Amino acid sequence: MHLRRHLPHYLMIAPFMLLFAIFFLFPILSGFYYSFNDWNAVQPAKFVGLANYQKIIASRDFARSMWNLGTYIVITVPLGILVALGLALLVDNFTGRWAHVFRGAYFLPVVLPSFLAATIWRWIYAPNFGLLNMMLGWFGMPSVNFLNNTGSMIYCLIAVDVWASAGFNMIILLAGLKNIPTELYEAARLDGASKWQQIIHITIPMLGPVLFFVVTYGLISAMQVFDKPWLLTGSSFTTYGGRGNALLFPVMDMMGRGFGAVKFGEAAAYGFLLTLAIVMVTALMFVLRSWSDRR
């Protein structure tokens, strides 16, 4: 009786559930199965247990990619949020047409295709005729091959990422700023609080939920970084990570193992290790948020 009464409802969601199972659940389950197998997509899969996970964790490329990822996250996430918050505070002071102009200008890098953004920055970093080296030449400094210098490559990537992502975070933070009651700032000014004191004691505490979202989203996105370092280094499935693997990251290594070395079992295991890391970091963020709310 219950099934007959709700059958039209089940039929309405059936197409979505079918597509969800085919294109989401099945790839996840099959990937989990192949992560315990030696499989090259041609020959039958051969069960190897945890060997794929052991090979990945013991490899030098994994250690290098995790070191690069840690450096990238530690710098990119806080720097990107600070830049975005500064832009949001700046744009919040404008009204009317100028507010729309600045919002559009700062958000423009977010909607640019990754290949176009990478092309622009590869020209900026070009060793001889790039904009950055031209500026260095004005001060009599020698040309630098930024994307071939292992000491500067990670910082070049960080600059590109902050430039590309600051606009998105700015819009989110700006929406949070608009929801802060103006009476709080008026009361603070009457008490003689400076602009900096208003930011520290009013703006940042009131932006707590928004900052939590921005930080969590930034961490998850940073752990999956792929397209920008891939394009900046002109990588392929057989040669990736740039000189000295200075821009090697987990997703790049996973793609190389799968489509370059044709070791899809190892690639699947790599994907689940990265997924586990993302879940753990996200859970930690929620635990810290819950602990902060109880204080």
Q: What is the CATH number of the domain that holds 250?
A: 1.10.3720.10
Q: Is residue 75 in some structural domain?
A: yes
Q: Is residue 149 in some structural domain?
A: yes
| Positive or negative torsion for Cα 101, 107, 112, 118 | positive
For tokens 């950055």, name the residue. 132
SS3 at position 243: helix
Domain that holds residue 208: 55-294
76 residue type, one letter: T
pLDDT averaged over the chain? Answer: 89
| Helical ranges in the chain per DSSP H | 2-20, 26-34, 51-58, 60-92, 97-111, 114-124, 131-138, 153-178, 182-190, 195-198, 204-206, 208-223, 227-232, 250-255, 264-294
| Positive or negative torsion for Cα 175, 87, 120, 233 | negative
pLDDT digits (tens, 9 = 90+) for 160-198: 999 998 999 999 999 898 888 888 888 888 888 888 888
Model pTM score: 0.88
**Of 9-13, 14-18, 289-293, highest mean pLDDT:** 14-18
Domain count, the chain: 1
pLDDT at 229: 93
Q: Is residue 49 in some structural domain?
A: no
Q: Is residue 129 in some structural domain?
A: yes
Q: Is residue 255 in some structural domain?
A: yes
Q: Is residue 2 in some structural domain?
A: no
Q: Is residue 81 in some structural domain?
A: yes
pLDDT digits (tens, 9 = 90+) for 110-134: 888 888 888 899 999 988 788 888 8
pLDDT digits (tens, 9 = 90+) for 223-268: 999 999 999 998 888 889 988 899 999 999 999 999 988 999 999 9
Q: Is residue 31 in some structural domain?
A: no
